[in-house]
């Protein structure tokens, strides 16, 4: 989206980027809590805004324990525009990182209204509150799901977008809404970060992903099998056109993802308009490779069985991380082994 000259200009500014006051919607959730740590460690001020529908209040204390800093917490729903407006004003926010939303693909097929209400209506409410307070800097949690079925790999930001389920459609609608907004008023500075497959947990074992019920995603499922809560991993298909026949994904450590947000803050500050940026590693790992890596890294048995393909899955999906590297100066650092070790530490600390 931006030319070489602008990138060079940005890089010189980047080192002068100052401390910011950042409101995190969904701040006590999985990615929000890790991002809060990355921002606090870089000396930014952070406020956590969350309705606790999929997270817990004790996360606020754990963030303080890890960083030694107290991030204020406001319990509320993003659809409460008045509360958001008041909170943005009181906190004197410079920017918002918008994580809050519902994220389960299967659930979105069964309850599309809940997904459009939370994700799309919630975002409209947030934008109205931001506009009222003249807070124009926004980073949005988007997803590789907006690329639909990959037409080529690796996926760069110019790949056509589409949606295959209501969850994905909420992300796409929000991205398009944000593009319209940026085009309507030059004040807005908006970045859509398209995450690939976040995994793992904070090295302390105090923060991680807590799925409700039986996990849908691969890593929490593997961890629960290793813990003996589930009998075996169901490997959904081994007849894909991939090296070992199982699905290939771009798994990224949640702490790398969190640091990607911190790296994007100076860019958010310096640029105008709307930008989409992938946060991935650029490396594809298969389902079987992940299961084996988990077993080896943690010296534990992970039984698995080959099952039929899961409807809606694609064979392979991985990012081109070049834009994030060129524009943000950010690159994922942690490997699959570290993702597996931290996920297991988190699992064992849950009891």
Q: Is 186 exposed, middle or buried (0-12, 13-18, 19+ CB in 10 A)?
A: exposed
Binding to ligand WQD (CB under 6 A): which residues in 102-121? 103, 105
What does 31 interact with, of ligand NAD, ligand WQD, none (CB < 5 to 8 A by kind)? ligand NAD
Which CB sits closer to ligand NAD, 161 or 238?
161
Contact partners, residue 78, CB within 8 Å, separation at least 6: 25, 49, 51, 84, 98, 100, 118, 122, 123, 125, 126
Q: Taking CB under 6 A as the rule, does residue 55 contact ligand NAD?
A: yes
What does 220 interact with, of ligand NAD, ligand WQD, none (CB < 5 to 8 A by kind)? none
Of these, 22, 37, 78, 201, which contacts ligand NAD (CB under 6 A)? 78
Which CB sits closer to ligand NAD, 48 or 327?
48
Contact partners, residue 311, CB within 8 Å, separation at least 6: none
Q: How far is the CB of 106 from ligand WQD (least distance, A)?
A: 9
The C-alpha angle with vertex 316 and arms to 311 and 320, in degrees rounded to 5, equals: 135
Paired strand residues for 131: none
Two tokens, residue 175: 């991205």
Which CB sits closer to ligand WQD, 76 or 280?
280
What does 59 interact with, of ligand NAD, ligand WQD, none (CB < 5 to 8 A by kind)? none
Which CB sits closer to ligand NAD, 147 or 274?
147
Print the binding letters for residues 225-254 with ligand WQD: x by CB under 6 A, - otherwise.
Answer: --------xxxx----------x-x-----
Active site residue 115: no
Residues 288 and 248: their CA atoms lie apart, in Å, by 9
Binding to ligand NAD (CB under 6 A): which residues in 17-36? 25-26, 28-32
Secondary structure (DSSP) of 165-177: SHHHHHHHHHHHH
What does 313 interact with, of ligand WQD, ligand NAD, none (CB < 5 to 8 A by kind)? ligand WQD
Of these, 103, 249, 283, 323, which contacts ligand NAD (CB under 6 A)? 103
Residues 23 and 47: their CA atoms lie apart, in Å, by 5
Inter-residue contact 86 to 133 (CB < 8 Å): no
Two tokens, residue 17: 């980027």
Per-residue exposure over 44-81, b if at least 16 CB sit within 10 Å of its own CB, e if not = bbbbbbbbeebbeeebbebbeebbebebebbebbbbbb
Q: Which of 147, 167, 195, 304 is labelled catalytic?
A: 167
Phi, psi angles (nearest 5°) of residue 282: 90, 0
Residues that bind ligand NAD (CB under 6 A): 25-26, 28-32, 50-55, 77-79, 99-101, 103, 118, 122, 141, 143, 195, 198
The residues annotated with a catalytic role in the active site are: 167
Residues that bind ligand WQD (CB under 6 A): 103, 105, 143, 145, 197, 216-218, 221, 233-236, 247, 249, 287, 310, 313
């Amino acid at each position: 989206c931006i030319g070489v000259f602008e990138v060079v200009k940005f890089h010189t500014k980047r080192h002068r980027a100052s401390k910011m006051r950042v409101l995190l919607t969904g701040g006590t959730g999985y990615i929000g809590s890790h991002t809060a740590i990355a921002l606090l460690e870089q000396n930014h001020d952070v406020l956590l805004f969350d309705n606790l529908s999929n997270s817990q209040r004790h996360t606020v204390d754990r963030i303080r324990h890890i960083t030694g800093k107290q991030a204020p917490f406001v319990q509320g729903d993003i659809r409460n525009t008045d509360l958001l407006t008041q909170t943005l004003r009181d906190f004197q926010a410079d920017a918002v990182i918008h994580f809050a939303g519902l994220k389960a693909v299967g659930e979105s097929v069964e309850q599309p209204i809940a997904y459009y209400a939370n994700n799309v209506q919630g975002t409209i409410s947030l934008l109205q509150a931001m506009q009222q307070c003249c807070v124009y800097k926004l980073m949005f949690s988007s997803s590789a799901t907006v690329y639909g079925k990959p037409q080529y790999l690796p996926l760069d930001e110019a790949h056509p977008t589409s949606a295959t389920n209501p969850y994905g459609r909420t992300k796409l609608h929000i991205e398009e809404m944000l593009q319209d907004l940026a085009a309507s008023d030059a004040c807005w500075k908006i970045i859509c970060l398209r995450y690939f497959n976040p995994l793992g947990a904070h090295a302390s074992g105090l923060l991680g992903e807590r799925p409700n019920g039986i996990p849908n995603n691969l890593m929490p499922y593997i961890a629960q099998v290793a813990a003996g809560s589930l009998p075996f991993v169901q490997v959904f298909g081994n007849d894909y056109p991939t090296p070992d026949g199982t699905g290939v994904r771009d798994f990224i450590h949640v702490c790398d993802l969190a640091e990607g947000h911190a790296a994007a803050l100076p860019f958010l500050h310096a640029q105008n308009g709307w930008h989409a940026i992938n946060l991935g590693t650029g490396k594809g790992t298969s389902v079987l490779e992940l299961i084996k890596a988990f077993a080896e890294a943690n010296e534990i048995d992970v039984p698995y069985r080959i099952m039929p393909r899961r409807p809606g899955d694609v064979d392979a999906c991985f990012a081109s991380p070049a834009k994030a590297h060129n524009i943000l100066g950010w690159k994922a650092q942690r490997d699959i082994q570290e993702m597996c070790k931290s996920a297991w530490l988190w699992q064992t600390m849950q009891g």
